[in-house]
């Protein structure tokens, strides 16, 4: 585990929280594979600290300042986010820039076993509230909350495809022929950007913090490390990539969490989203295929850092096979698409 300079961290908290902080203890929060996250407490108050991953980090990735800024801007927007304590760019305290937020006392559904603890009625209500939360985010006017110029919506999808292609090249641990095929098909069918707004970048079930008493209520949306301004339909693609259905190959990360009774089908999610925004969503194939590819690239980067010895633990084992499974599923989705250019 990273060596925290607890005295320096306490002095930083003293300057940023009302009443100061007592003697601190720090505990890693399980579940995350990307940005290391920790619970910090003095026995009276509880906070969450996030920092970039260890080892080689690709350019523009894991920017703590961006992650902090978007949550601070959204605080009074109706999108549920934790209260931010502060951003620290002094790398001497934890070895990297970091930020701290209040800990919300809620639960996270990491996979199928966690989701199985909800009743079918709770699962159905949670699905509706997740979609409504995503709609609320996408309907926020960035300029009205100080995020004008924070990103460039025009050309977003083209830049995304180029970025994740470059990151694959920088992170790959071995050649995979699926990648060349997917990139060729995605490039030749690139849609024009539609419906610009704030993009979360990783909107899915296990990035929701839920009320313990009412697990259908979203207390906070977490993990904003990939957020920017862009085509908001890309978030819907990510959500649908992780939205498993009974009888089909699940996303290897979510592993069937939303295939349980009560969760509606993927196209219910799409239709509810489209109706709430008053937009026509006739074809999400490109966004779904791209979402699987993007997730595979992210996991390849984590796998590469694991091979370099920068991470340890069971949750980092077997990622090589998960990357292959996602790339294969992306190719299968492309082959079944109504878009001719995705099929060949």
Whole-angstrom distance, CA of residue 101 vs CA of residue 198: 21
Please compute Rg for the chain using Cα positions. 20
Say how many CA atoms lie within 13 Å of 158 toward its Cβ: 7
Q: How far is CA 93 from the centre of its chain?
A: 26
Q: Are residues 127 and 226 in the same domain?
A: yes
Q: Has residue 137 been placed in a domain?
A: yes
* pLDDT above 80: residue 56: no
Q: Are residues 303 and 332 in the same domain?
A: yes
Q: How many domains does the chain have?
A: 2
46, 77, 103 - which closes a domain: 103
This prediction has a pTM of 0.91
Q: What is the percent of the chain with per-residue pLDDT over 90, rounded to a whole number? A: 75
Q: Has residue 113 been placed in a domain?
A: no
Tokens encoding 77: 């927007």
* pLDDT above 90: residue 178: yes
Tokens encoding 263: 């969760």
pLDDT of residue 250: 81
Q: Are residues 181 and 60 in the same domain?
A: no
- Structural domain of 278: 119-343
* CA-based end-to-end distance of the chain: 46
Q: Looking at residue 148, which CATH number applies to its domain?
A: 3.90.1200.10
49, 78, 103 - which closes a domain: 103
Q: Has residue 264 been placed in a domain?
A: yes
More confident residue, 56 or 326: 326
Q: Are residues 152 and 281 in the same domain?
A: yes
Q: Are residues 95 and 126 in the same domain?
A: no
Residue 216's pLDDT band (boundaries 50, 70, 90)? Answer: very high
pLDDT of residue 61: 53
Q: Has residue 201 been placed in a domain?
A: yes
Q: Looking at residue 58, which CATH number applies to its domain?
A: 3.30.200.20
- At 20-44, the pLDDT tens digits run 899 999 999 876 556 889 999 999 9
Q: Has residue 112 been placed in a domain?
A: no
pLDDT of residue 264: 97
Q: Are residues 141 and 254 in the same domain?
A: yes
pLDDT of residue 1: 46
Q: Are residues 30 and 130 in the same domain?
A: no
Q: Has residue 171 been placed in a domain?
A: yes
pLDDT of residue 251: 80
Whole-angstrom distance, CA of residue 79 vs CA of residue 209: 12
Q: Has residue 291 been placed in a domain?
A: yes
Write the CA distances from 307 to 32, 107, 216, 233, 316, integer angstroms.
17, 31, 38, 34, 10
Sequence-separated (6 or more) residues with CB below 8 Å from residue 39: 26, 27, 28, 29, 46, 47, 48, 49, 103
Q: Are residues 190 and 278 in the same domain?
A: yes
Calculate the average pLDDT of the chain.
91
Please state the rounded mean pLDDT for residues 167-183: 95
- At 68-90, the pLDDT tens digits run 999 999 999 999 999 999 999 99
- SS3 state of residue 156: helix
Q: Are residues 222 and 309 in the same domain?
A: yes
Whole-angstrom distance, CA of residue 113 vs CA of residue 51: 28
């Amino acid at each position: 585990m990273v060596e925290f300079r607890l005295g320096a961290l306490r002095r930083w908290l003293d300057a940023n929280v009302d009443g100061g902080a007592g003697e601190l203890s720090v505990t890693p929060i399980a579940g995350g594979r990307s940005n290391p996250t920790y619970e910090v407490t003095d026995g009276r108050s509880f906070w969450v600290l996030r920092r970039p991953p260890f080892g080689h980090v690709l350019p523009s990735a894991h920017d703590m300042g961006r992650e902090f800024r978007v949550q601070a801007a959204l605080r009074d927007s109706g999108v549920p986010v934790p209260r931010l304590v502060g951003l620290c760019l002094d790398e001497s305290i934890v070895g990297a820039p970091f930020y701290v937020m209040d800990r919300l006392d809620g639960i996270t559904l990491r996979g199928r076993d966690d989701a199985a603890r909800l009743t079918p009625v709770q699962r159905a209500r949670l699905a509706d509230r997740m979609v409504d939360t995503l709609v609320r985010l996408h309907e926020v006017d960035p300029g009205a909350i100080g995020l004008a110029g924070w990103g460039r919506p025009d050309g977003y999808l083209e830049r995304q495809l180029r970025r994740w292609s470059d990151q694959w090249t920088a992170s790959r641990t071995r050649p995979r022929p699926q990648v060349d095929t997917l990139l060729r098909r995605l490039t030749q069918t690139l849609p024009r950007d539609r419906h610009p707004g704030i993009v979360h970048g990783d909107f899915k079930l296990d990035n929701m913090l839920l009320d313990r008493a009412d697990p259908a209520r979203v207390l906070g949306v977490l993990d904003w490390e990939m957020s920017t301004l862009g085509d908001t339909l890309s978030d819907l693609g990510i959500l649908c990539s992780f939205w498993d259905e009974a009888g089909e190959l699940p996303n290897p990360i979510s592993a069937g969490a939303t295939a349980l009774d009560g969760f509606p089908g993927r196209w219910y999610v799409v239709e509810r989203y489209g109706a709430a925004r008053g937009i026509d969503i006739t074809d999400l194939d490109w966004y779904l295929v791209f979402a699987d590819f993007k997730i595979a690239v992210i996991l390849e980067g984590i796998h590469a850092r694991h091979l370099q010895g920068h991470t340890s633990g069971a949750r980092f084992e077997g990622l090589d096979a998960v990357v292959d499974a996602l790339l294969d599923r992306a190719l299968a989705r492309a082959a079944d698409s109504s878009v001719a250019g995705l099929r060949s």
